[in-house]
Amino acid sequence: MSNIYESAANTLGLFSSPCLTKVELRVACKGISDRDALSKPDPCVVLKMQSHGQWLEVDRTEVIRSALNPTFSKVFTMDFYFEEVQRLRFELYDISSSHNGIKEADFLGATECTLGQIVSQRKFSKSLLKHGCSAGKSSIMIIAEELSGNGDYVELSFSARKLDDKDFFSKSDPFLEIFRVNDDATQQLVHRTETIMNNLNPVWKTFKVSVNSLCSGDHDRKLKCTVWDWDSNGKHDFIGEFQTTFKEMRGAMDGKQMQWECINPKYKMKKKNYKNSGIVILNQCKIIKMHSFLDYIMGGCQIQFTVAIDFTASNGDPRNSCSLHYIHPYQPNEYLKALVAVGEICQDYDSDKMFPAFGFGARIPPDFKVSHDFAVNFNEDNPECAGIQGVVEAYQNCLPKIQLYGPTNIAPIIQKVAGSASREMHTKEAMQYFILLILTDGVITDMADTREAIVHASHLPMSVIIVGVGNADFSDMQMLDGDDGILRSPKGEPVLRDIVQFVPFRNFKHASPAALAKSVLAEVPNQVVDYYNSKGIKPKCASELESSRTFGP
């Protein structure tokens, strides 16, 4: 099987390009303009990266309510390539409590820089600009830290009991902050829990942070933990604090608990009989070994690549040279260009090189009923084609035999691939991960069903790549990409993880096939790792892989 990895290494180098290091970025803002006299802004920072002239969202911070000088606990983890200019844009928004979408939020300012600038300065500060002008006195500070050595994560579950009551008409609304004490005695926010309203015995949600972020790999490094009573005006009341170390926290492994007295130093000095302001309990400390994409690939995980092609009438009559499906004798159409660019990368991670290919939106023989998941080779029992070239040939042979029709429904094909991924999920092994490439010329007509299908698929070992072909308005398709808040099903259920990448082909018309492939596949390695790590599924080691193989005579 090693030939798979050798050939993969000789392709575009997409998955194994030499990342110099990983860096963690932490963000804080100062002096946000208080435009509303009645309330302070609820800030959120969106991180974008430039790719082929476009700004694409990478991640975003949490929303902090009523804050003019927010320090965000969200950590951005990025690959740093010394040989590349990685242009970043940090956008600050005021997001009201009624919704979390960026489209309806107030834009407060932005700044642009390169990742190299941030890494070289370690602490990078810059004024925020709004429409080219200074956004008052508001500025952003970004702290970079190399994620070196140990890439493990730790999962922590905190609760508290008998916290001091700071509110007159109700009980305290506590939240917990954990700070790492650096070598220069400065404090770096590691995590901020959610607020538990009206509760002196809160149980906070389990959270996960990297060991590097928590203690810089030094298990004896001091950690300062502070409990606050949240107030809607942003002026939170101090309840108490305690100090610990990661080494001490590890005492809460294997079903044990750790407890600390939460102390208010002022009360301790003034009150003779003061004991504490409550007890903070660590119910669980679990170390999670993080594996890389290559760990899974080299452990035998295969990328199962499936393609689905839009055969709706809006593509135009294939016999007409203006059609998106027109087969030119010398120039491949956009469908073929996108298929080959993405497929040639994926095929290097699939040992049998057999790819299922489906069509949707056409009337098919023999009865010419509309189908949204027919085999392009017309063999429903075996829709697989031999290699990407086999898919190309099946596509070309299929065109004269079908009638382009509609509507543009993609939920059935997502559900079909999800069925295969679901069967793989029940094996609880990292052996097959499914990538569905959907090539379509227009906005889909079954958006509600598609959202439902994607939310379901987000629990499975699969990713969906949608390439928009032609010049249609694809703005509605962006919502499937999770670029404007969290994608939800019609019933309101959120996706477990972001598994959809949407790209309009026209953005890459004049770029190389490698550029398109890199853009649409860039998120796949992290999606593979996120899925298996979240399920606690480890990659197979070489000895396990050898014993699981079936050798021929």
Instruction: Please state the three-class secondary structure of 227-271 as a single string.
Output: EEECCCCCCCEEEEEEEEEHHHHHHHCCCCCEEEECECHHHHHHC
Give CA separation, 335 vs 144, 246, 348, 376, 481, in Å: 41, 53, 21, 14, 20
* Cβ pair 323, 310 in contact under 8 A: no
320 three-class SS: coil
pLDDT higher than 80, residue 16: no
Helix (H) or strand (E) holding 526: helix 524-534
DSSP symbol at 319: T
| pLDDT value at residue 223 | 97
Which is higher by pLDDT, 203 or 508? 203
Task: Return the number of other C-beta atoms located less than 10 Å from residue 125's C-beta.
Answer: 13
pLDDT higher than 60, residue 322: yes
Determine the longest span between alpha carbons in the chain, in angstroms: 92
| pLDDT value at residue 383 | 96
**First vs last Cα of the chain: how many Å apart?**
17
Cα dihedral 467, 414, 458, 530, rounded to 10, equals -60
35 three-class SS: coil
| pLDDT value at residue 12 | 35
DSSP symbol at 411: H
* Cβ pair 76, 115 in contact under 8 A: no
pLDDT higher than 70, residue 545: no
Token reading at 283: 């119910």
Q: At 269, phi and psi to the nearest 5?
A: -75, -40
| pLDDT value at residue 482 | 58
Which is higher by pLDDT, 403 or 510? 403
Q: In the predicted model, what is the mean pLDDT of the chain? A: 86
Q: CB within 8 A of 259, min separation 6: which ones? A: 279, 280, 281, 282
Confidence band for 83, pLDDT divided at 50, 70 and 90: low
Packing angle, helices 447-457 and 411-425, rounded to 10: 10
pLDDT, tens digit, for every residue of 461-501?
Answer: 999 999 999 888 887 777 776 555 678 888 889 888 889 98
Confidence band for 149, pLDDT divided at 50, 70 and 90: low
Which is higher by pLDDT, 186 or 53? 186
For the segment 74-97, the average pLDDT, to the nearest whole number, is 85
For the segment 509-538, the average pLDDT, to the nearest whole number, is 83
Cis link prior to 366 (omega < 30° from 0)?
Answer: yes
Closest CA to 126 of 191, 189, 114: 114
Give CA–CA dist 30/318, Å, rounded. Answer: 58
Residues recorded for the chain: 553
| pLDDT value at residue 455 | 95
| pLDDT value at residue 536 | 83
Counting Cα atoms < 13 Å in the Cβ hemisphere of 118 gives 29
**How much is the CA Rg of the chain, to the nearest whole Å?**
26
Confidence band for 540, pLDDT divided at 50, 70 and 90: confident
Cis link prior to 407 (omega < 30° from 0)?
Answer: yes
Helix (H) or strand (E) holding 412: helix 411-425
The C-alpha angle 457, 462, 464, rounded to 5 degrees, equals 80
pLDDT higher than 70, residue 41: yes
Which is higher by pLDDT, 329 or 550? 329
pLDDT higher than 70, residue 553: no
Tell me what percent of the residues of the chain surpass a pLDDT of 90: 53
Closest CA to 53 of 517, 506, 472, 464: 506
Give CA–CA dist 426/212, Å, rounded. Answer: 33
Burial (CB count within 10 angstroms: exposed 0-12, middle 13-18, buried 19+), residue 22: middle
* Cβ pair 4, 353 in contact under 8 A: no
What type of residue is 451?
R
| pLDDT value at residue 544 | 54
Give CA–CA dist 240/228, Å, rounded. Answer: 7
pLDDT higher than 80, residue 551: no
Closest CA to 84 of 518, 483, 504: 518
For the segment 22-31, the average pLDDT, to the nearest whole number, is 92
| pLDDT value at residue 417 | 96
Which is higher by pLDDT, 540 or 325? 325
Confidence band for 506, pLDDT divided at 50, 70 and 90: confident
| pLDDT value at residue 145 | 85
